[in-house]
Amino acid sequence: MGRMGGSQMTYSANPNDYRLLEEVGYGASATVYRAIYLPFNEVVAVKCLDLDRCNSNLDDIRREAQTMRLIDHPNVIRAFCSFVVDRNLWVVMPFMDEGSCLHLMKIAHPDGFEEAAICSILKETLKALDYLHRQGHIHRDVKAGNILLNSNGVVKLADFGVSACMFDTGDRQRARNTFVGTPCWMAPEVLQPGSGYNSKADIWSFGITALELAHGHAPFSKYPPMKVLLMTIQNAPPGLDYDRDKKFSKSFKEMVAMCLVKDQTKRPTAEKLLKHSCFKHAKPPELSVKKLFADLPPLWNRVKALQLKDAAQLALKKMPSAEQEALSQSEYQRGVSAWNFDLEDLKAQASLVRDDDDDMPDTREEDECMKPFGSYKLVSDGQSSSVKLNSNSEIQQVECRTHTDADELLLAESLIRKGKLLESDTLQTGTLEKSGTKSEATNDEKASSSERDMTQAKAKMVKGRQTQSGPLVPGAVLGHSLSDKGRFWERSEIDNQPTTEKTTCEVRKAPSFSGPLMLPNRASANSLSAPIKSSGGFRDSLDEKSKANLVQIKGRFSVTSENLDLVKGSPLRKSASVGDWIFESKQTSTSLSPKEISNNNLPASFLMPHLHNLFQQTSIQQDLIMNLFNSLQPADALDVAQNGKLPPLPRSSENNGSVDAAPSERERMLLMKISELQTRMINLTDELNSERLRYAQLQRQLKSISGQEENGDRRELDA
């Protein structure tokens, strides 16, 4: 049996006692359901944490569950009980029927809430933080997505996925020298782990959350993690702008500014902040918060609508942006989800995201707080300028001539070499690769990597898959050997499972890869990150089976042939030619239900962007082919071959290293690729033509319908 719930009732740890209903939320590694606890016929929330998808190690998961069970504060979500079901950790919690502030903003308040509501929400959050800090915890993931509301106006802070204990020593203490949290909300000192951090990191995140609630999004949120990271370190702290944020009071602006001070010692404690006039005069949440969700449909319908809206938005983006968005979003969300940043991964991200900020897919207005970055952009005009990086009170100057992502990498690498940016076990790959060369891993890095190996080895030693029906104890979690990873996907025993388990499996299988619903946020989070297994930063840590199926390693992530099928099922696919993620328009068009299509009631405004996408995709394919043709040029070909991407070029001694005229293995491969691309282009052209036809048909139908209506009207008038 599980522990006592808030209502002093005992909740069982038997999954059959819970009927999972609708999905009401999802995070990096968990899906949250509204559920009925059958013995009491009571509505609860069940967070199903996918142990396979978890980026965190088992200790983190256990810590979250333990923390949640021990806490007892009206503003902190507590766990009634938690237990392991197959490959999931189920955490049973009170159901917060209005969901998170983030969802609420996305669905009904895209430009943020009004000040009265914000102050009420923040006050409750601050009470939660004050309590947690007194208990010795740092939450480390304070953000609107983790502030939950219910219809009575109750506000609770959730998600202890990354919380840390301040009183820990040894390994756990060292863990606080690592990147943990969500990039946009992360305090500068968290990004410079050498100095360590404390509960004041939560106060920074709290300040960022205040801005998030005020604007509808966090500052820097449109940038990929690498950029966010550098901007947090380099730029002046974000804040409310005097002109743009006129609707907010001086007191509110002042409170935000107090939280967002780079020097953590100058930030107030939660206790002190609670005394700020902003909170002293805050209305009780039941008065100011309820109107935020008045007249909204039930949470689960909102979540569905949100998924649909995101799917539509992504589908309608013009192709290059959509491609970029998908990539950027997935990279961003991976950063969001990945508590432990990995330089290799960040480098990969930075190199994949174009530096042209104006082209960034986010249509949001640029934040005022981005202004300092504007001046940074100036240097791209070839002027020399210096970027100041404040690290451990020491100002380091890095010469920066052009503002490119490569420069950002250099900056980061420069910091790292100076031992400022990463010091402990977060430098997961332990290597810095630039232009194919590897710098030597430092002793610290080596030591920490062996520590990690030990942890992994330990986890692997605990064999056997347990289906635990009892409150979560360390053994219960550890019962899931990491080496079991991936088995879930192969299992054919789903049909033999109790309904609840079946539901989980189906839902888990479905979300990312099958339906159009999952295309956007989650699509971007899951379609890429779920099938792309986290290898924990080590190629070596991939299990044998994964290694055998390995298709590609990308940063910390590997794509196996097994999950490539899943990727194929997703609307994003890997372009065979260039290795970019291409938005599959075929999938997009089929993302409309057959009913919708057969109803022929699609407005032209909806179809046109699809056609446009197809058209552009075709052009892109053409470009790719041209590029490939060009890549046959001797100089380029030589270069590519030297980079090891293709078999080496044959050389003849007579022509002094120039490319041999005879078709080489490499050329054959290129030709194969070209013909593959051509086939795809033909398919896309066909698709475009059929869409055109359908569009013309629809227009005819529209005309005839409107003609009929006009006739009807005329007849009515005549009569």
Ligand X SMILES: Nc1ncnc2c1ncn2[C@@H]1O[C@H](COP(=O)(O)OP(=O)(O)OP(=O)(O)O)[C@@H](O)[C@H]1O
Q: Of the two residues 64 and 357, which places its CB atom closer to ligand X in the complex?
A: 64
Query: What are the C-alpha distances in Å from 463 to residues 476, 493, 544, 660?
Result: 12, 20, 16, 56
Each residue 323-352 as x (binds ligand X by CB under 6 A) or -, in order, gives --------------x---------------
Task: Respond yes or no: is residue 623 known to be catalytic.
Answer: no
Check: CB of residue 142 under 8 Å from CB of residue 209: yes
For ligand X, the binding residue among 69, 87, 103, 217 (CB under 6 A) is 103
Residues 6+ apart with CB under 8 A from 331: 224, 225, 348, 349, 352, 353
Distance (Å, whole) CA 145 – CA 126: 15
Strands 99-100 and 147-149: antiparallel
Q: Of the two residues 25 and 207, which places its CB atom closer to ligand X in the complex?
A: 25
Q: How many CB atoms lie within 10 A of CB 499?
A: 11
- Angle (nearest 5°) at CA 210 between 205 and 211: 95
Q: Tokens in use for 85?
A: 């079901």
Each residue 37-56 as x (binds ligand X by CB under 6 A) or -, in order, gives --------x-x---------
> Which residue in 315, 305, 324 sits closest to 586, CA to CA?
315
Q: Does 159 bind ligand X (CB under 6 A)?
A: yes
User: Least distance in Å: CB of 36 to ligand X?
Assistant: 14
Residues 6+ apart with CB under 8 A from 616: 318, 319, 320
Q: Of the two residues 182 and 391, which places its CB atom closer to ligand X in the complex?
A: 182
Task: Please give the helix or strand (H or E) that residue 37 lies within, else none.
Answer: strand 30-37
For ligand X, the binding residue among 146, 503, 546, 621 (CB under 6 A) is 146
User: Least distance in Å: CB of 23 to ligand X?
Assistant: 9
Q: Which residues inside 570-609 make contact with ligand X, applying CB under 6 A?
A: none
For ligand X, the binding residue among 12, 57, 66, 100 (CB under 6 A) is 100
**C-alpha 101, offset from chain centre:** 17
From 21-29, 209-217, 377-385, 386-394, span contacting ligand X (CB under 6 A): 21-29
Q: Of the two residues 533 and 680, which places its CB atom closer to ligand X in the complex?
A: 533
From 121-129, 145-153, 187-195, 577-585, span contacting ligand X (CB under 6 A): 145-153
Q: Which string of DSSP letters, residue by residue, matches 46-98?
A: EEEEETTT-SS-HHHHHHHHHHHHH---TTB---SEEEEETTEEEEEEE--TT
Query: What are the C-alpha distances in Å from 657 to residues 254, 508, 653, 654?
Result: 68, 54, 7, 8
Q: Tokens in use for 165?
A: 């204990």
Q: Does 89 bind ligand X (CB under 6 A)?
A: no
Q: Does 482 bind ligand X (CB under 6 A)?
A: no
Q: Of the two residues 146 and 329, which places its CB atom closer to ligand X in the complex?
A: 146
Q: Of the two residues 55 and 467, which places its CB atom closer to ligand X in the complex?
A: 55
User: Least distance in Å: CB of 147 to ligand X?
Assistant: 9
> Which residue in 670, 666, 648, 665 sits closest to 657, CA to CA?
648
From 7-15, 124-132, 158-166, 231-239, span contacting ligand X (CB under 6 A): 158-166
For ligand X, the binding residue among 24, 119, 122, 592 (CB under 6 A) is 24
Q: Of the two residues 46 and 240, which places its CB atom closer to ligand X in the complex?
A: 46
> Which residue in 554, 556, 549, 582 sits closest to 568, CA to CA?
582
Phi-psi region of 480 (alpha: psi -120 to 50; beta: other; left: phi over 0): beta
Q: Does 181 bind ligand X (CB under 6 A)?
A: no
Catalytic residue (choose from 86, 141, 310, 484): 141
User: Least distance in Å: CB of 93 to ligand X?
Assistant: 4
Q: Does 145 bind ligand X (CB under 6 A)?
A: yes
Check: CB of residue 132 under 8 Å from CB of residue 67: no
User: Least distance in Å: CB of 95 to ligand X?
Assistant: 5
From 18-26, 591-599, 600-608, 681-689, span contacting ligand X (CB under 6 A): 18-26
Q: Of the two residues 225 and 430, which places its CB atom closer to ligand X in the complex?
A: 225
Helix (H, G, I), strand (E, B) or coil at 164: strand
User: Least distance in Å: CB of 629 to ligand X?
Assistant: 44
Where does this chain bind ligand X (CB under 6 A)? Answer: 24-30, 32, 45, 47, 77, 93-96, 99-100, 103, 141, 145-146, 148, 158-159, 161, 337
Catalytic sites, residue numbers? 141
